[in-house]
Amino acid sequence: MDNTSDKLQKIRSEYGDKALKEDALNSDPVKQFELWLGEAMEADAEEPNAMVLSTVDSENNPRSRYVLFKNIVNNSLVFHTHYESDKAKEISNNPNVSGIFFWPEIYRQIRFEGTATVADKEVSDEYFKSRPRGAQISAWASEQSVEIENREILDKKVKELEEQYEGKEIPRPEFWGGYLIDLNYWEFWQGRKNRTHDRFSYSKVDKGWKIKRLSP
């Protein structure tokens, strides 16, 4: 039987051969992102708004996890989380973040870098009201990143909260809400055959953006 290394070496995926040309790029990377996101959704990409978010802890150790991108506000990407979570503490200590969207269905990846800040309450309130009731309850029930002894502790909290708010509107917890990522760098990657991918970066310059083609 093949070992893991042998199996990995046999994995081969071609990425199609759709070209990405500079003259087809929007001069505004946010608009280019919205275009690609829309095409990912049209292609029924799995979790098209899932993005890797990378932060740095107090000892400069990089940490990454998936979060869900939920909106664009003032050209900033918005995601929501527990304000006492590890990621929130890391952002408070060092607001510089980076992240990736990857849509294998259309052979595309977007990488970004920027700074994260707590969103206005209105942004957080609006999104919280749109969440399914179960997700609203879970925001209250979870002390995100805190060690718990067993699953039963969480299930008990959820049941208690369901009883507490039965027939009532669930308010947003003060310890849960949104972050805005103000971007200073974008990179758009279009997979192509034989690993000759097309890559373009957008770097912030004054009030505009400088576009460069990068080698794959």
Which residues are designated catalytic? 195
The kind and range of the H/E element at 7 are helix 4-10
Let me know the angle formed at the C-alpha of 96 by 90 and 99, rounded to the nearest 5 degrees.
Answer: 95
Let me know the angle formed at the C-alpha of 138 by 90 and 168, rounded to the nearest 5 degrees.
Answer: 130
To the nearest 10 degrees (0 to 180), the angle between helices 133-141 and 151-164 is: 120
Number of Cβ within a 10 Å radius of residue 31: 12
User: Taking the CA of residue 108 as centre, how many other CA atoms within 13 Å lie in the half-sphere pointing to its CB?
Assistant: 25
Q: In the numeric block, which tokens belong to residue 117?
A: 């800040």
Nearest to 78 by CA among 49, 37, 35: 49
DSSP E strands in 119-205: the ranges are 176-190, 198-205
Beta carbons of 109 and 51 less than 8 angstroms apart: no
Q: In the numeric block, which tokens belong to residue 108?
A: 């595309």
Phi, psi for 3 (deg, rounded to 5)? -85, 175
